[in-house]
Structure 1
Amino acid sequence: MTELTDLSLADARRALLNKEVSAVDLAKAQIAAIEQARALNAFIKETPEVALAMAADSDARIARGEAGPLEGVPLGIKDLYCTAGVQTTAASHILEGFTPAYESTVSANLWRDGAVMLGKLNLDEFAMGSSNETSYFGPVISPWRRVGSDAALVPGGSSGGSAAAVAARLCFGATATDTGGSIRQPAAFTGTVGIKPTYGRCSRWGIVAFASSLDQAGPIARTVRDAAILLRSMAGHDPKDTTSVDLPVPDYEAAVGRSIKGMKIGIPKEYRLDGMPAEIESLWSQGVEWLKAAGATIVDISLPHTRYALPAYYIVAPAEASSNLARYDGVRFGLRVPGKDIADMYESTRAAGFGKEVRRRILIGTYVLSAGYYDAYYVRAQKIRTLIKGDFESAFAAGVDAILTPATPSAAFGVGEKGSADPVEMYLNDIFTVTVNMAGLPGIAVPAGTSSEGLPLGLQLIGRAFDEETLFAAAEVIEQSAPKVSLPARWWA
């Protein structure tokens, strides 16, 4: 029999409902796997006692015939989601020890549907990063390694703990968040599936804010079907979030396996970058052929304002971050460093509590919002954002159903290899993903092959607002067509 931890979420759910395995046994298997994988540093907080208690409750509901859609399935929760009675840190020293008295709406939806919490997953501090190296609790290490090398690799960010845990079979799925690519980039780096839903599809209530007009919750999972199952439970209208959209949540799983014959897939010429690695170009071409073979029509499109997306994003996101992070002042919760007066206490607390990357982004954001620079930077960036959104709307109005692009400009890189001398080098990892957040659209990353070094590479599909179903259908075609990506031996165990 397949090891319990190697089952897909869909298979684990089936085994639970058929009473082939108990929720407690499944939880114990995952807890043991987590204990053996601490070298990956994927979890900030493990909650085995909580998991076993929730699993026992799930077994009781299954026995009574009252199983929910995720009954007994163990999941990891990104430590950006508030979890009642369990420490929530956003991977920052300034929130170390903070235990919320309330539950985020998305995680509450998962518990409502019977899921089991294994613990809180590591991330870049306040979700600011593309490699999971900015966490106060140390970097997450990818379970992947280059062929013939033992060098530690990054899992991507900011949801690196989520991606690494799913890839290493430490949980059947994980919550994540995506502000500029923080679901799709780590998914691509680790051979997992990650979907950023349309802005407003999942509630942001109870999720620590980075940039409120860009942040969106979503799942990272092992397969397209697993991601569809998770998103159905995570999504839904929430009156506590004014940006939450009151629309029915479709049965996303039903879209998996749906024919894409006659679907029109756009290929944006602006995503062909100067100096793009040949293996990324080749992967993209292969994705086109797979979709064409499944009956889709391929059309060239133009998204002319793509070139401005990254600089505009790195104005809008830091500006919103500087505002959102003003609340961490040492007065109400979290870290407090004493000072000679309240102003000195504020300064000392924030200097000690925030890491280097977070301080950098707060300073950038404060600068672009300051008198004399607001119109020159922030207002212009928002105008560019409107133009980017208009590019996508024009493509979809012309009949395009989805857009195919690379997910990342390269495979995963080594810990410490990028960004130490020039932060922009790290920011360029988001070049294919930030447009989707700026336009508020859904995007999915799906494994599509491997690099010359044996590392996962992903493709991205971008869809119309609130049309995640089309993305699941097209992504499943790529998943079924692509060569299967296999993890190296469990060197971390």
Structure 2
Amino acid sequence: MTDLHRLSIRELSEGLAGAKFSSRELTEHYLKRIAKLDTQVKSYVTVTAEQALAQADAADAAIKAGTATALTGVPIAHKDIFCTQGIKTTAGSKMLDNFISPYDATVVAKGKAAGLVTLGKVNMDEFAMGSTSENSFYGATANPWNLGHVPGGSSGGSAAAVAADLAPFATGTDTGGSIRQPASFCGLTGLKPSYGRVSRFGMIAYASSLDQGGPMARSAEDCAYLMNVMAGHDAKDSTSVEKDVDDYVANLNGTAIQGLRIGIPKQYFNVAGLDADVKARVEESLKKLEEMGATLVEIDLNMTEAYVPTYYLIAPAEASSNLSRYDGVRYGYRAENPVDLMDLYKRSRSEGFGAEVQRRILIGTYALSAGYYDAYYVKAQKVRRLIQQDFLKAFESVDVIAAPAAPTTAYKIGANLSPVEMYLGDIYTIAVNLAGLPAINAPVGFDKDNLPVGLQLIGNYWSESQLLSVVHQYQQATDWHTKRAAIAEENA
């Protein structure tokens, strides 16, 4: 029982169903690993041991009664942006350090209904704003591959927990790459679904037209199991789409690699900051897919230079609006002994929000202010439409589009990149959110420092099954997704 953390989701599901081990044994195994190893990784904000064991016992009873689903009894970690009833939900912020949600997010509720066991809530950049998981009130999370490096962000706690085998899989959210970039930095598979595919109800908002929840795991197969639970229409979310959901697990071999047309945007491979090792590993993975029968097609994505300025007008503008509710009056952090209402507002927000969140609120408020709204926000929305049309034109001649997930491998903790340097690191991921498209990261090797490199595949709307299938077949032919950091190999 010392190696349960090395099993895939399918193996865990089969093992539980065949009574090779119980959910309680499995949950205790993970809780021991968290207690022993997370002092180094710092991926969890809250560990819910008591609740997890109660859920595990209920799962064991369901398995015995024959009422279990495929995932009943399997543990999961939730990004601390999803509301969890009776459990602290912080979004990585001092502002919500005392917030205990009175309800479950739809994603969490669906997980509970499927019999998943919640191990706890994992760390993230404050309000999902950042690419390193250093912008958290609870301190930086470390990358399991090298504890001196960041795991990426904002879903860095989710990525680190899975990469260190402190959870079999985890939920993440992606507003501009926050699933794909940490998956790339930590050697994982991470899927950002089409906008509207996964409910945002109970997911604390950063930028409402960009945010989307998705799965993070070791393999496409593991992600498919979680997508089967997460995806689907939700009447509580007005942006949720009423569209039939695929059986992602059943469709893992549903897309033929033979004849698959993979678009290679020439602009993406000539970006100034693209690391040579990252470029080499991505090109090797594309060569492998070509050997498997895919056709590589050079394409133009002419709006590439507009991605960063467009995103960093729209996202902060929506953040400015969404975060206006944190005022020290209704819930969350409240400044002590305010002189008057204005003092309460000012000090609650300046003391409760970190520097990066304040920076984005100020940018967004400026972009929305009288006299600048048309010049900045409205113009950015028009450019956003052009970016979407650029992708749709490309999909007329290709099935998927390939790119690096990030221009570099994981930064060092404390690298103190300037905000502009940090924002430019999102060049390959943010356009997908602006266009509302699905995209997936797959691990494809390592750089000279043994840090993971990721390949990103971008699909047309509602093509999650296709993306999972292509990556699954690539993973059947390679073993990058099976590689483990040294800390993950340790037994509790």
Task: Give the TM interval when normalised to the shorter protein.
Answer: over 0.9
Q: Report the residue type matching 1:269 in the other structure.
A: K
After superposition, the C-alpha distances for 1:76-125 in whole angstroms (9 at most, x for unaligned) are 00000000010101010011111111110011111111100000110000
- 2:220–2:471 contact (8 Å) kept in structure 1: yes
Moved more, 256-265 or 201-210: 256-265
Matches of 1:141 and 1:185, distance apart in 2: 15
Aligned to 1:21: 21
Matches of 1:144 and 1:283 in 2, distance apart? Answer: 17
Q: 1:311: Cα distance to partner?
A: 1.0
Q: C-alpha separation between the residues in 2 aligned to 1:482 and 1:451?
A: 17
CA displacement, residues 369-416 of structure 1 (integer Å, 9 cap, x when unaligned): 011111111111111110010011111123x11111111111111101
Tell me, what secondary structure is at the counterpart of 2:152? coil
Alignment deviations for residues 1-28 of structure 1 (CA, whole Å, 9 cap, x no partner): 7701111122111110111110000000
Q: Which residue of 1 aligns with 2:223?
A: 227
- Which residue does the alignment assign to 1:342? 341
Aligned residues: 485
| Structure 2 partner of 1:325 | 323
- CA drift at 1:251: 0.7
CA contact (8 A) 2:126 2:137 kept: yes
Who is 1:391 aligned against?
390
Alignment-derived partner of residue 102 in structure 1 = 103
Structure 2 partner of 1:129:
130
- 1:157-178 CA-to-partner distances (Å, cap 9, x unmatched) read 0000000000000011101000
Are the aligned partners of 2:273 and 2:407 in contact in 1 as well (CA < 8 Å)?
Answer: no
Instruction: Indicate the SS of the match to 1:397.
Output: coil
Give the counterpart of 2:409 among 404, 408, 411: 411
Aligned residues of 2:282 and 2:454 also touching (Cα < 8 A) = no
Distance of 2:389 and 2:475 partners within structure 1 = 30
What displacement does 1:336 show?
A: 0.8
Name the residue aligned to 2:445: 449
Distance 2:421 2:474 in 1: 30
Alignment of 1:132-281 (within 5 A): 132-145=133-146, 152-258=148-254, 259-272=256-269, 273-281=271-279
Is 2:4 the partner of 1:8? no
TM-score (norm 2): 0.96
3-state SS of paired residue (2:297): strand
Secondary structure of the structure 2 residue equivalent to 1:253: coil
Amino acid at match of 1:315: L
Which amino acid in 1 is paired with 2:28?
K
Question: 1:491 Cα shift?
Answer: 9.4
Distance 2:55 2:5 in 1: 18
| Structure-1 separation of matches of 2:100 and 2:414 | 31
Gaps of 5+ in 2: none
- SS of the equivalent of 1:254 reads coil
For 1:22 and 1:491, the matched residues in 2 are separated by 22
3-state SS, counterpart of residue 45 of structure 1: strand
Q: Which amino acid aligns with 2:374?
A: D
Could you state the TM-score of these two structures normalised by the residue count of structure 1? 0.96
Structure-1 separation of matches of 2:94 and 2:2: 40
Say which SS state the counterpart of residue 33 (structure 2) adopts: helix
Q: In 2, distance between residues paired with 1:104 and 1:182?
A: 19
CA shift for structure 1 position 257: 3.1
Superposition pairs of residues 475-486 of structure 1, within 5 angstroms: 475-484=471-480, 485-486=483-484
Gaps of 5+ in 1: 146-150
Q: Which amino acid aligns with 1:427?
A: Y
**Cα distance change on mapping 1:279 and 1:466 into 2, 3 Å:** same
Once the two structures are aligned, what percentage of the paired residues are identical? 49
The Cα of 1:274 is off from its aligned counterpart by: 2.5
CA contact (8 A) 2:163 2:488 kept: no
The one-letter amino acid of 1:8's match is S
**Greater displacement, 125-134 / 61-70:** 61-70
**Maintained 8 Å contact 2:163/2:484:** no
What is the distance in 1 between the residues matched to 2:2 and 2:25? 14
Note if contact 1:125-1:358 (Cα within 8 Å) is conserved in structure 2: yes
SS of the residue corresponding to residue 383 of structure 1 reads helix
Amino acid at match of 2:353: F
Computed over aligned residues only, the root mean square deviation of the Cα atoms, in angstroms, reads 1.4
Kept after mapping to 2: 8 A contact 1:418/1:426: no
Note if contact 1:264-1:402 (Cα within 8 Å) is conserved in structure 2.
yes
SS at 1:252 equivalent: coil
- For 2:314, the equivalent position in structure 1 comes to 316
Displacement of 1:254 in angstroms is 1.9
Task: Tell me by how many angstroms 1:63 deviates.
Answer: 0.2
Q: Does 1:459 align with 2:460?
A: no
